[in-house]
């Protein structure tokens, strides 16, 4: 997992698990999404990095990380 790869996360809480619908924040219903680098997400320390792997993205979203 490279630090420069981007992950789509909730625009409010900055967590992929919220965007996936697993652990939703209080503002999830009105939030958008943003892309953040793995490096930036690691600094926030809000969720376990296992949610940012290619396998997790595909498992929870149904699509790979291709753009």
pLDDT tens-digit map of 3-12: 889 999 999 9
- For residue 25, is it within any domain? yes
- For residue 48, is it within any domain? yes
User: How many domains does the structure of the chain reveal?
Assistant: 1
Contact 20, 61 (CB under 8 A): yes
- For residue 46, is it within any domain? yes
- For residue 1, is it within any domain? no
Residue 26, C-beta contacts closer than 8 angstroms, at least 6 positions apart: none
How sure is the predictor about 2, in pLDDT bands with cuts at 50, 70 and 90? confident
Question: What pLDDT digit, counting tens, does each position of 36-66 carry?
Answer: 999 999 999 999 999 999 899 899 888 775 5
- For residue 47, is it within any domain? yes
What is the domain range of residue 28? 6-61
Distance of CA 67 to the CA centre of its chain: 15
């Amino acid at each position: 997992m490279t630090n420069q790869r981007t992950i789509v996360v909730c625009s409010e809480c900055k967590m992929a698990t919220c965007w996936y619908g697993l652990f939703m924040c209080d503002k999830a219903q009105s939030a958008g999404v943003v892309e953040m680098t793995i490096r930036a997400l690691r600094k926030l320390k809000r969720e376990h990095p296992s949610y940012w792997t290619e396998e997790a993205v595909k498992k929870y979203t149904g699509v790979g990380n291709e753009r």
